[in-house]
Amino acid sequence: MMSTIENKITKLGYELPNESAPLANYVPVVLAEQSKLIFTAGHLPKNKNGEIIVGKLGDSISNEEGYEAAKKAALATLGSIKSKIGSLDNIKRIVKLLVMVNSTADFKDHPAIANGASDLFVEIFDEKGFHARSAVGVASLPLGAAVEIDLVAEID
């Protein structure tokens, strides 16, 4: 049975992916049970075929494509969290988000790209989706991904 949050994701037209497989020696999600915080590893955006969305902002992909890639990476974090805690209804709030943007040295719209993830969390979780955030530009990301996102969430 789908949780309330999962139903909302579906009604909004999004598809929740399965847990992301690690690319190296790490786990996708760690639950710090005493603190009720859950930490995700970096998650990459994937298209409907499961292929990594690649590109460099300010060069090979548009801001709109970067914004959508950030949404996909945010959904990937939720897919991994669901596999760890069972139901996204157990998320009390999104606490902190780090969005790394694969971009040229002169690119300046990192916040606009990161808004793809931030807007998605607020759309899904309402006021529980507002969070602290860092958006940074990087010279490259694993597999040439356009963005990489990790987050901290509080759970019940």
pLDDT band at 131 (very low <50, low <70, confident <90, very high): very high
Is 61 inside any structural domain? Answer: yes
Strand order in the sheet with 37-40: 29-32, 37-40, 147-155, 91-102, 132-138
Please report how many Cα atoms fall inside a 13 Å half-sphere around the Cα of residue 54, on the Cβ side.
7
Rounded CA gap, 109 and 101, in Å? 10
- Between 82 and 34, where is the model more confident? 82
Instruction: Give the model's pLDDT for residue 14.
Output: 94
Percent of the chain whose pLDDT exceeds 70 = 99
User: 53, 154, 55, 146: which is closest to 96 by C-alpha?
Assistant: 154
User: Would you say residue 9 lies in a domain?
Assistant: no
Q: How many CB atoms lie within 10 A of CB 1?
A: 5
What are 5's two structure tokens? 């949050």
Q: What is the pLDDT of residue 42?
A: 98
**Average pLDDT for 53-57:** 99
Answer whether residue 11 is part of any domain: no
- Classify residue 28: in a domain, yes or no: no
141, part of any domain: yes
Range of the structural domain that residue 88 is part of: 37-155
Residue 127 belongs to some domain of the structure: yes
CATH number at residue 131: 3.30.1330.40
What torsion, rounded to 10 degrees, do the Cα atoms 76, 37, 142, 21 define? -50
Whether residue 126 lies inside any domain: the answer is yes
What is the pairing mode between strands 29-32 and 37-40? antiparallel
Q: Domain for residue 10, yes or no? A: no
- Over 80: is that where the pLDDT of 1 sits? no
Higher pLDDT, 23 or 14: 14
- How many domains does the structure of the chain reveal? 1
